Amino acid sequence: MEKLSVAAFKSNFSSVIERVKSGGEVEILYGRAKVPVARVTPIPATKKGGLLGCLKGKASFSIGEDWKMTGEELIEL
């Protein structure tokens, strides 16, 4: 893991972000004592379109047999 002072982080911000985007990690050091105060890491990739089917196998619903509504009535709701 790369370690940078606050000043170096500020002056090289764009290149640091590019390194993080490609999987790297950067630790930010503060003050003369170079105390670690932050770590910049990539966000884990998420699945796109995760909403569709997210409750599959976890929830269910049913519609009563006596329920009647035409398509037009449904649209008017």
Q: What is the pLDDT of residues 41-75, one digit of tens each?
A: 999 877 666 666 777 788 887 888 888 888 888 78
1-43: CATH class:
alpha beta
The domain segmentation of the chain, as residue ranges, is 1-43
Q: What is the pLDDT of residues 1-41, one digit of tens each?
A: 899 999 999 999 999 999 999 999 999 999 999 999 999 99
Q: What is the pTM of this model?
A: 0.57
Q: How many CB atoms lie within 10 A of CB 16?
A: 19
